[in-house]
Amino acid sequence: MNMLRRHWPWLLVLVILLAFPFLFYDWTKGRHSGFVLTLMSEIGVMAIFALSYNMLMGQAGLLSFGHAVLFGLGAYCAAHVVNMVKAGTIWLPTELIPLAGGLGGLFFGYVFGWLVTKQRATAFAMITMGLGELVSAAALMFMAFFGGEGGITIDRVMDTSLVGVRYTSPWQVYCLVLAWAFIAAALMRLQTQTALGKMANATRDNFERAQFVGYDPRMVRLMQFTLSGFFAGIGGGLYVLIYEIVTFDTVSAAKSANALLAVYIGGAGGFFGPILGTIVVVLLQSGVSLLSNAWLLYVGVLFIVMVMYAPGGLIGLIFMHLPIWRAGRMRELLLPYARAFPPALLVLLGFVFMVELASFTTIGAAQGKRFTIGGQLIDTTAPMPWVIAIAALVLGALWLRHEARGFRQRWDELMEGSKRAQATAAPKPQEAVA
Amino acid sequence: MLQGKWFSALFGIVFAIAGGGHALAQGTIKVAYTDPLSGPFAQVGDANLKQMQYIIDYINAKGGALGKKFELVPFDNKSQPSDALIALKSATDQNMPFIMQCSGSNIAAALIDGVNKHNDRNPDNRIIYLNCGAVATELTNEQCSFWHFRFDLHVGMKAEVMVRALPKDVTKVYLINQDYLFGQSVQREVKNYLGKLRPDVQVVGDELIPLGKIKDFSPYLTKIKASGAQALLTGNWGPDMNLLIKAGVDAGADLRYYTFYAHLAGGPTAIGVGGDNRVLAVMSFGENVAPEIGNKEAEAFTKGFRDKHKFDFSAAGFRTIFEYLQAAVTKANSVDPTKIALAMEDLQVKDFLGFDTKMRKEDHQIISEYFVGIFKKGVKYEAEGTGLGWATSATILAKDVDQPNTCKMKRPSAS
Amino acid sequence: MEVFVVSLLNGLVYGMLLFMLASGLTLILSMMGVLNFAHASAYMLGAYFAYTISQYIGFWPALIIAPVLCGLIGAGIEMWGLRRVHQNGHIAELLFTFGLALLIEKGVQMTWGLLPVPYRVPELLDFPLFKIYGTQFPAYRAFMLLISALMFGAIWLGLTRTRIGLVIQAALTHPDMASALGHNVPRIFTLVFAAGTALAGLAGVIGGNYQVTEPAMAFTMGPIVFVVVVFGGLGSLSGCFIASILMGLIQTFAVVFDVSLADLLAKFGFVVTSSTPFAEILTVTLPRIGALLPFLMMVLILVFRPRGLMGTRDT
């Protein structure tokens, strides 16, 4: 009972995640939307991946450009194991395939970790980048393990399930992904409480002092790296089960960059930040890219805005409200937020409108696409839409600036107030991530 | 109006996620199209999309099929198999009967596998994969599938075309290919057909280069010159081909370049005047073919695209695809993928240039004529405003590329 | 011999191009600690600017104007973007430049289209300079060598003979000390960032027509530049120079030697067959992995000597 009281948010999230796909259930045909399920499974896998990345970046302060190597190699291992099970050489239940990927990741994490953890900071980053390039080139060259360009394909219907599920439908796979995502997240959360997790923090925050305490920082880094490889490998194993193919792009620099972006956008400071970031990144890449030609531009702008105005990530933004929330004065923020919302929306719309106009004039028009809003055709060469877009952007920006000043004032007052109220029990300041 | 934008954007997102974002016109036959539309290979998908849209408009103007119009629904796969598979899921969610993909044999292999599994597991919601340019030989041999139809000649056939077009006085050739599945199979097949058709030709050099990593090809040119080769045979594409030919021209090498992809978007610009009378391309079509054979109607069709987009038209093969679809849908008298697939087998269509083509039943590989073009001055339609264009130097008829196959196709039980 | 001389020349040209790109990044990375992912984007912008300018007023003005434009953009980025982000740490700066790289790539695609643009070598330089063992050496390559040599000289003089150069050198090795001595370090940062971007722009002007000017050129050039900088060592221009030339030569000569590990083992009487374990790895020939050698070398040098070839401090 006590367990339930303490961990109710996890349960709530699980229930929501299980119910969500039913919003898109096609009742007339009696089937789930494969697209939504695949997308949500992708989010699950990438969330594990991003969390494992945060074990390096958030916990140990290690910036890696080649984390996808561990993810991808885990995936390749899992794929080979599946094919062996299918061929009858070994027996392993489908549910434990991600574990095979995890062990692969653990192995390669130790091997590569032994090499890369000799250094830290920029040298560490550059070594991981070099390794990433080497492994992704090797993935194209060596047929036996990587299958070359075509990759390794598998059939996830192995009939070795522990619970009698065949995994023919995306729904069954989604449930498996959810289960593993929760197990992996819980384990990683526990890991932050262990001595190793704490020492990783220590080597991040004060390298010399951690050494004086008597721990070998290299060993701490190596163990952290290896463990992170294990969890990345679990993600890789799940990836194989979702797509039933693993190719060289799973080890590529682009995949590594995704983890970095997800962690940073979500915020490396809080444990759940990377999950938020993953949702944003996956939706941008797989959702917005269907709608707009210029999605990469939006991604670029989002990063720049986040980096400039919200260095703590989304989770940092949420944490900022904690003191006010504890003081029970959140309600007083409603009005300032409501006032800032319209100009912010105006800026956003003006910007999106302008980018789309530009994109449709140059690239879209050539592809024979037409720019329509609510069924109404927009002539991108006429001056009127441009004037509206620019006006919305400029006026919105001015208005937002004005509102922002008022907002800041109110915010400072509230912060002051809550600080005074909690002068004795001040909340722990949010740790900045270097 | 801005409010309208907001709502349509919001609903757009919701519907796209729900998988109903393109349900604007109900009575159309939807063809999902997935290729890289962003990132470093965006030009490939972009060029294909333009030409396909032009062809679809034309086919629709001629009545479409069964009174329905075709509709193209693009999905950006960012050159990643996983994104192509997500596109496949969207397409099947919306009950599209076709998914089309042109660039990348790795993605094609993933799609074939994905489509096979999907059709096996969901017999009520099947889909046909139309391959418009992924040319690895194994896709219609070892990996052949009942649901996969290839509308471009595979590497083996193209290699044969290339070898057949090699002039008699060339006796020493050099091979350079990219070090991955496609490049390796070009290397294998070209050598194979050289041995079969031209035993007099000696391969004086044979090289694999890492894909997209070489920035300066001059060292290779030095090696090629030292080997005394008269012709360079390459399956390279993109920067790997452009830089290779550029380096050759710069070094003043007395070489002929036999390529698979020099005629595609971006190639002529990168090669420039230096490639005059030196660069040859194995191609499914060139804009000067129609005037050369005196086919006014075909010429008007390609010129129409040129006038509209200020862009070269190179993909006659896409028109053949839609003509096959038109014929197959009409023959099947249904938009049910299984019936269409059956109707497509052994279907014969005269393509718009007037040549005979056939969709081979055993392996679902199209057998069509192919051309070899040479890049030179003084042609009717120049390429990318360079002043040079592709003149046809050889035409290989369908019967000459009808190579045997090793496909053991699994057909769906009649249902 | 023939192959050797020609390869040497080609390796030198490529190495010098690398140096032009890498020298700017060395300055930026060593002084400001910014892993500037947008550096190769400046290279691309330089090429595109030069293409547009040379269409209207010719190549020679473009040689000056395009780098200056790039430098101005760089200064703007530093003053209004990076400086603000600086307080949020190095990862924030890195991501900022990453976002910029995405923006620039998309911007270039929207302005100049997705296809390569016909940016050509000026006619004045479009002739073979001399013939060596039957291979032509284009005059433009000699011109590239000349420009990069001039630039190297100019940087060297600027850094050792001018006051601002000495301050930059001081800030390069001891940034805290320099600012403690009362120098306006932020202004120096802006200057260095602008100069670095201008250098990359210049590299783009002369490299864009030597290679192909297309939207993917930044993406393909990016990683190798990092490799050169890190390999050469932070805080050392001469290290950067040596590393650039070395990388250029290695990539050129790797193509020439058609050997593999299996050949090496065969010398010791060990014959590799297809059934030998790791046969696939052992039979890979040098030309196939030539382009990967720089990455391998970077990993090795960082593991054993983290300050790089001639660096003044650990990376």
**Within its chain, how far is the Cα of A151 from the centroid?**
24
Q: Does A137 touch chain B (CB under 8 A)?
A: yes
The pLDDT value given to residue A366: 55
Residues of B with Cβ-Cβ distance to C289 under 8 angstroms: 210
**Based on the domain organization, do A40 and A186 belong to the same domain?**
yes
**Range in A414-418, B163-167, C84-88, C289-293 with the lowest mean pLDDT:** A414-418
CA B116 centroid distance within chain: 22
Same domain, yes or no: A110 and A161: yes
What residues 86-105 of chain B have any CB closer than 8 A to a CB of chain A? Answer: 86, 89-90, 92-93, 105
- Say whether C99 and A362 touch across the interface (CB within 8 A): no
Strands (E), A234-386: 245-246, 372-373, 376-377
Instruction: Give the number of other Cβ atoms within 10 Å of residue A413's Cβ.
Output: 12
What integer pLDDT is reported at residue C314 of this predicted model?
Answer: 65
Contact A352 B5 (CB under 8 A): yes
Residue C218 lies in a domain: yes
For the cut 50, the answer to whether the pLDDT of residue A431 exceeds it is no
CA distance A307 to chain B (A): 23
The answer to whether the CB atoms of A155 and B117 lie below 8 A apart is yes
pLDDT of residue A374: 60
* A141 part of a folded domain: yes
The 10s digit of each residue's pLDDT in C116-130 is: 888 888 888 888 888
Say how far apart CA C36 and CA C33 lie, in whole Å: 9
Q: State percent of chain A over pLDDT 70.
A: 92
Identity of the residue numbered B61: A
Is the CB of C256 less than 8 angstroms away from the CB of B223?
A: yes
CB B110 within 8 A of CB B136: no
Least confidently predicted of A142-151, A267-276, B90-99, B402-411: A142-151
Token pair 């096959």 in the structure block, residue? B324
B198 in contact with C at a CB cutoff of 8 Å?
no
- Residue B371 CA to residue B378 CA, distance in Å, equals 19
Shortest CA distance to C225 belongs to which of C83, C13, C29? C29
- Calculate what percentage of chain A has a pLDDT beyond 90: 27
Handedness of CA B76, B77, B83, B85 (dihedral sign): positive
User: Phi-psi category of B250—alpha, beta or left, where left has phi over 0 and alpha has psi -120 to 50?
Assistant: alpha
- The per-residue pLDDT for C83 is 86
- Checking if the pLDDT of C178 tops 80, the result is no
pLDDT at position B329 is 92
pLDDT at A103: 95
Does one domain contain both A171 and A194? yes
Distance from CA of B219 to the nearest CA of C (A): 6
Contact residues on chain B for A382, CB-CB shorter than 8 A? none
- Angstrom CA distances, C244 to A245, A364, C18, C225, C239, stand at 39, 41, 6, 9, 9
pLDDT at res. C252: 84
DSSP reduced 3-state for A153: strand
> Which residue did the predictor score with more confidence, B179 or A174?
A174
Q: Does residue B314 carry a pLDDT above 70?
A: yes
How high does pLDDT run on average in chain C?
A: 85
As to burial, measured by CB atoms within 10 angstroms (0-12 exposed, 13-18 middle, 19+ buried), residue A209 is exposed
What sections of B32-180 are H helices per DSSP? 42-61, 81-93, 105-121, 155-164
Q: Is any Cβ of chain B less than 8 angstroms from the Cβ of C231? A: no
The mean pLDDT of B342-358, rounded to a whole number, is 90
Whether A109 and A248 share a structural domain: yes
> Position of tokens 């075709």?
B70
pLDDT band at C245 (very low <50, low <70, confident <90, very high): very high
pLDDT for B149 = 94
A275 compared with B180, residue with greater pLDDT: A275
Query: CATH code at A305?
Result: 1.10.3470
Indicate the residue among A267, A286, A318 that finishes a domain. Answer: A318
Burial label, B408 (beta-carbon count in 10 A; 0-12, 13-18, 19+)? exposed
- Shortest CB distance from C315 goes to which of A116, A126, A137? A126
Contact between residue C178 and residue C172 where contact means Cβ atoms under 8 Å apart: no
- Which pLDDT score is estimated for B25? 43
> Is residue A30 domain-shared with residue A134, that is, in the same domain?
yes
| Per-residue pLDDT tens over the stretch A299-315 | 888 888 888 888 888 88
The verdict on A350 and A396 lying in the same domain is yes
**Cβ-based contacts of B223 with chain C (< 8 Å):** 3, 255-256
The DSSP output letter for A26 is B
On the question of pLDDT at A2 being above 50, the answer is yes
What average pLDDT does the segment B135-161 reach? 90
pLDDT, average across residues C218-245: 87
Name the residue with tokens 């999605």. Answer: A295
What pLDDT, on the 0 to 100 scale, is given for residue C221?
85
Quote the number of domains for chain A: 2
> For B185-198, how does the pLDDT look when each residue is reduced to its tens digit (9 = 90+)?
899 999 999 999 99
All domains of chain B in start order, with CATH: 2-153+298-367 (3.40.50.2300), 156-283+369-401 (3.40.50.2300)
Taking residues C94-118, report their average pLDDT: 87
Q: Extract the tokens encoding B283.
A: 């191609």
Say yes or no: C220 contacts chain A, CB-CB below 8 A. Answer: no
In a domain? residue C149: yes
Q: CB–CB of B109 and A286 under 8 A?
A: no
Residue A143 at interface with chain C, using a CB cutoff of 8 Å: yes
pLDDT score recorded for residue B414: 54
Spatial distance between the Cα atoms of B183 and B175, rounded to a whole number of angstroms: 10
Which residues of chain A neighbour B46 with C-beta distances below 8 Å? 363, 366-367
Within a domain: C11: yes
Q: List chains adjacent to chain A, taking adjacency as at least 3 C-beta pairs closer than 8 Å.
A: B, C
Q: Which two tokens stand for residue B66?
A: 């069964």
Number of inter-chain CB pairs under 8 A, A vs B: 153
Rounded distance between C-alpha atoms, residue C272 and residue C266, angstroms: 7
A157/A183 same-domain check:
yes
Element (H, E) at B348: strand B348-350
Q: Which pLDDT belongs to residue A209? A: 81
**And the tokens for A397?**
């920006």
Q: Mention every residue, 6+ apart, whose C-beta is less than 8 A from residue A9.
A: none
**Number of domain units in chain C:** 1
Per-residue pLDDT for A13 more than 50?
yes
Helix-helix angle C237-256:C217-232, to 10 degrees: 120
Distance from A353 to chain B by nearest Cα, in Å? 8
Per the CB < 8 A criterion, the answer to whether B282 and B257 are in contact is: no
User: What pLDDT, on the 0 to 100 scale, is given for residue A1?
Assistant: 57
Does the residue C289 lie in any domain? yes
Partner A contacted by C128 (CB < 8 A):
no
Quote the pLDDT of residue C220: 81
Q: Do C281 and A57 lie within an 8 Å CB cutoff?
A: no
| Contacting partners of chain B (3+ CB pairs under 8 A) | A, C
Say if residue A424's pLDDT is above 70.
no
Is the confidence at residue B18, as pLDDT, over 60?
no
Rama region for B131: left / alpha / beta (φ>0; ψ in -120 to 50; rest): beta
Of A137, A148, A288, the CB nearest to B210: A137
DSSP string, C239-281: HHHHHHHHHHHHHHHHHH---BHHHHHHHTT----TTSTTHHH
The answer to whether the Cβ–Cβ distance between A35 and B19 falls below 8 Å is yes
Q: State whether C306 and A123 contact (CB < 8 Å).
A: yes
> Which DSSP category does A294 fall into?
T
Query: Given a cut of 70, is residue C269 above it in pLDDT?
Result: yes
The answer as to whether C236 is a domain residue is yes
C81 contact B CB<8A = no
Give the residue-averaged pLDDT of C50-60: 91
Cβ contact A134:A72 at 8 Å: no
Query: Which of residues 100 through 119 in chain C touch B, CB cutoff 8 A?
Result: 109, 114-118
Specify the higher pLDDT residue, C294 or C261. C294
**What is the structure's pLDDT at B7?**
42
Reported as a pLDDT band with limits 50, 70 and 90, residue B24 is: very low
For chain A, what is the mean pLDDT? 84
Determine how β-strand A372-373 pairs with β-strand A245-246: unpaired
> pLDDT tens-digit profile of A230-271?
999 999 999 999 999 998 889 988 899 889 889 988 988 778
What is the spatial distance between Cα A83 and Cα A93, in angstroms, rounded to a whole number?
A: 13
Candidate ranges A36-45, B3-12, B209-218; pick with highest mean pLDDT: A36-45
In this prediction, residue A322 carries a pLDDT of: 80
Instruction: Report pLDDT for C303.
Output: 87
Q: Cβ atoms within 10 A of the Cβ of A280, count?
A: 19
Q: What is the pTM of this model?
A: 0.87
Answer yes or no: is pLDDT of A227 > 90.
yes
A177 touches chain B (CB under 8 A): no
pLDDT band at B5 (very low <50, low <70, confident <90, very high): very low
CATH at C56 = 1.10.3470
> Which among B82, B74, B94 has a CA at the least distance from the CA of B34?
B74
Q: How far is CA B387 from the centre of its chain?
A: 25
Q: What is the pLDDT of residue B11?
A: 42
Contact C31, C175 (CB under 8 A): yes
pLDDT of residue B148: 94
pLDDT of C194 > 50? The answer is: yes
A433 within a domain of the structure (yes/no): no
Domain membership flag for residue C315: no
Q: How large is the average pLDDT for residues C14-22?
A: 90
Q: For C153-157, what is the mean pLDDT? A: 88
pLDDT band at B122 (very low <50, low <70, confident <90, very high): confident
A301 interfacial to chain C (CB closer than 8 Å): yes
DSSP run (H or E) holding B366:
strand B366-367
Assess if residue A429 is contained within a domain: no
A264/A336 same-domain check: no
On chain A, the residues whose CB falls within 8 A of the CB of C298 are 126-127, 130
Kindly state whether residues A309 and A333 are assigned to the same domain: no
Among candidate residues A318, A335, A364, the one where a domain is terminated: A318
Name the residue of chain B whose CA is nearest to C115's CA: B266
Kindly identify which residue of chain B lies nearest to residue A21, measuring between CA atoms: B18
Give percent above pLDDT 90 in chain C.
Answer: 23
Average pLDDT of A81-104?
92
With a cut of 50, say whether residue A81 has pLDDT above it.
Answer: yes
Give chain A's largest Cα–Cα span: 71
C contacts of A363 (beta carbons < 8 Å): 109-110, 113-114
Has residue C230 got a pLDDT over 70? yes
pLDDT of residue A373: 66
Residue in B closest to A32 by C-alpha:
B93
For residue A358, the chain C residue with the least C-alpha distance is: C110
Contacts of A304 in chain C (CB under 8 A): 81, 96, 99-100, 103
> How high is the pLDDT of residue A121?
79
DSSP 8-state code for residue C314: -
* pLDDT value at residue A325: 80
Q: DSSP readout, B281-312? A: EEES--TTHHHHHT-HHHHHHHHHHHHHHSS-
Residue range A93-149, pLDDT digits in tens: 988 999 999 999 999 999 999 988 888 778 888 899 999 989 988 888 787 888 877
Shortest distance between the Cα of A225 and any Cα of chain B, in A, equals 27
Q: Which domain holds residue C158?
A: 2-304
Angle between helices C39-56 and C185-208 (to 10 degrees): 60
The average pLDDT across B176-192 equals: 88
Q: Is residue B15 very low, low, confident or very high in pLDDT (cuts 50, 70, 90)?
A: very low
By C-alpha distance, the chain C residue nearest A117 is C303
Q: CA of A253: which chain C residue's CA is closest?
A: C223
pLDDT at B6: 43
Q: Do A307 and C96 touch (CB under 8 A)?
A: yes
Domain enclosing residue A85, as ranges: 12-318
**Strand, coil or helix: what is B377?**
strand
Q: Which of A288, A303, A318 is the last residue of a domain?
A: A318
CB-based contact, A299 to chain C, within 8 Å: yes
Averaged pLDDT for residues B149-156: 92
- Residue C133 in any domain: the answer is yes
Is a pLDDT exceeding 70 seen at residue A198? Answer: yes
Give B7 or A286, the one with higher predicted confidence.
Answer: A286
What is the DSSP code string of A39-62? HHHHHHHHHHHHHHHHIIIIIH--
What pLDDT score does A403 carry?
A: 82
Residue with tokens 């919302």, as numbered in its chain:
A341
For residue C116, the chain B residue with the least C-alpha distance is B266
Cα separation, A56 vs B303, whole angstroms? 58
pLDDT above 90: residue A200: no
Helix axes A34-54, A253-266, angle to 10 degrees: 80
pLDDT of A280 over the 70 cut: yes
Kindly tell me if the per-residue pLDDT of C280 is higher than 60: yes
Q: A-chain residues within 8 Å CB-CB of C284?
A: 141
Tell whether B50 is within 8 A of chain C (Cβ).
no
Q: Is residue C311 part of a domain?
A: no
**Inter-chain residue contact B386 with C253, CB threshold 8 Å:** no
Check if B46 contacts C (Cβ < 8 Å): yes
Q: Which residue matches tokens 């058609």?
A: C258
pLDDT confidence tier of residue A54, bands split at 50, 70 and 90: very high
| pLDDT score of B415 more than 60 | no
Indicate if A311 and A330 belong to the same structural domain: no
Please give the Cα distance from B145 to B131 (Å, whole number).
12
Whether the complex's predicted ipTM is more than 0.95 is answered with no
pLDDT at C48: 95
Neighboring chain C residues of B43 at a CB cutoff of 8 Å: 114-115, 214-215
Contacts of C among chains (3+ CB pairs under 8 A): A, B
C17 vs A407, B81, C120, C247, CA distance in Å?
Answer: 51, 35, 17, 11
Which residues 267-286 of B are in CB contact (within 8 Å) with C?
269-270, 272
Give the H or E element holding residue C90.
helix C90-112
Q: Provide the pLDDT for residue A177.
A: 94
Which residue of C128, C224, C253 is in closest CB contact with B252?
Answer: C128
Characterize C140-155 residue by residue with b for buried, 16 or more Cβ atoms within 10 angstroms of its Cβ, and e for exposed.
bbebbbebbeebbeeb
